[in-house]
Amino acid sequence: MRGSFVPYVLIAPAVVILLTVLAYPLVDLFVLAFQNVNDYLHLSAPDLVKFIGFDGFSKVLGSGDFWQSVQRTVLFTLEVVAASILISLLVALLLQRISKWAKVTVVTALMFVWAVPQIVTGTLFKWLFANTGGVVDYWFYLATGDQGWRTHDWFADPNQGLYIVVAIAVVWGALPFLVIGINAALTQVPKELVEASKLDGANGWESFRHVVLPVIKPFLVLGTALSFIWDFQVFGQIWALRDNAPEPGYRVLGVYLYQEGLGSSHYSTSAVVSILMILLMLAVLVFYIRQVIKMGDQD
């Protein structure tokens, strides 16, 4: 009976530290969301700060710009998560087929990509897709011979800039974690089962679907959930790509939160948007937790 408390004792220090670090900011965030705090009231007239109930939520939820940002964020996140998982899976499968030295080289390059900050990544892709001397424009010019590609502006159309350029930059930064994680999961697939499936007449796709996929599914579920959470909050790459001033067409929720809240010194508004973002992401976390529980029951 005494041993049953050992896990709780061991995890207690981590729980205490997390509560200490997170409790005050979260409580202060919720209090701020029900007040009318801005830069002027916070610094010059703190006596005028008061509770306004759900007025802040009504203002944000009644804003068309907010719902456009939500729609843009959801579409962008679904695109990037799907592309990240698919490309990472293909790269991880490729790593299983190349020589050891080549695998070490690829993994080392991926670790380097992982270490690059988001702002640096955004700046790098801004240079690559620049409409004056950009490498990508020059490649398209060489491939097509069309002079128009030499000065093509990828960012003039927000749909093209967000769903192509920003998406590529975000996927690029997501690949290291996903590729290395999926590759590690693939090493846990018993080779005997794969060989047995082939002896039974299964082709490559059938062997992958019925043997490999069930083994790596737990990490795919985890990677998808984490990718959704990270990509749902994307900010740094957009901020760098648009020279610290993203146009309305680039306003996903992370950018909307900064520009409408912190950038305009409307601290209560930023708190409201933050809480709404947390609630939207919690829906994904609930789905993820249910999937993990189901997989645990099956085991």
Q: Are 128 and 120 a contacting pair, CB within 8 Å? A: no
> If pLDDT is split at 50, 70 and 90, which confidence band does 209 have?
confident
Task: Look at residue 252 and tell me whether its pLDDT is greater than 90.
Answer: yes
Q: Are 275 and 30 a contacting pair, CB within 8 Å? A: yes
3-state secondary structure of 35: strand
> If pLDDT is split at 50, 70 and 90, which confidence band does 295 have?
low
**pLDDT at residue number 18:** 84
**pLDDT at residue number 191:** 83
Q: What is d(CA 241, CA 158) in angstroms, rounded to the nearest whole number?
A: 12
Distance of CA 217 to the CA centre of its chain: 19
State the average pLDDT for the chain.
86
The tens digit of pLDDT for each residue in 91-133 reads 999 998 888 899 889 989 998 888 888 889 999 999 999 988 8
Structure tokens at 195: 């060989």
Residue type, 140: F
Task: Look at residue 64 and tell me whether its pLDDT is greater than 60.
Answer: yes
Structure tokens at 21: 């670090």
Can you list the pairs that 222-226 forms with residues at least 24 positions away whose Cβ atoms lie under 8 Å? 222/181, 222/288, 222/292, 223/85, 223/88, 223/177, 223/178, 223/181, 223/182, 224/81, 224/85, 224/288, 225/284, 225/285, 225/287, 225/288, 226/177
**pLDDT at residue number 164:** 95
Task: Look at residue 24 and tell me whether its pLDDT is greater than 90.
Answer: no
Helices (H), 34-63: 39-43, 55-61
Average pLDDT of 250-259? 92
Task: Look at residue 2 and tell me whether its pLDDT is greater than 70.
Answer: no
- Using H for helix, E for strand and C for coil, what is the string for 105-169? HHHHHHHHHHHCCHHHHHHHHHHHCCCCCCHHHHHHHHHHCCHHHHHCCCCCCHHHHHHHHHHHH
> If pLDDT is split at 50, 70 and 90, which confidence band does 27 have?
confident
| Residue 252, phi then psi, degrees to nearest 5 | -75, 175
Average pLDDT of 42-67? 82
Report how far apart, in Å, the C-alpha atoms of 157 and of each of 74, 75, 84, 124, 247 are: 19, 16, 23, 20, 10
Task: Look at residue 41 and tell me whether its pLDDT is greater than 60.
Answer: no
Task: Look at residue 299 and tell me whether its pLDDT is greater than 60.
Answer: no
Task: Look at residue 206 and tell me whether its pLDDT is greater than 50.
Answer: yes
Lowest mean pLDDT: which of 74-83, 249-258, 263-272?
263-272
**pLDDT at residue number 215:** 87
Average pLDDT of 145-168? 92
* Element spanning 101, H or E: helix 100-115
Q: Are 91 and 179 a contacting pair, CB within 8 Å? A: yes
> If pLDDT is split at 50, 70 and 90, which confidence band does 1 have?
very low
* Domains in the chain with CATH codes: 58-298 (1.10.3720.10)
SS3 content of the chain, % helix, strand, coil (to 5): 80, 0, 20
Residue with tokens 């998560």: 81
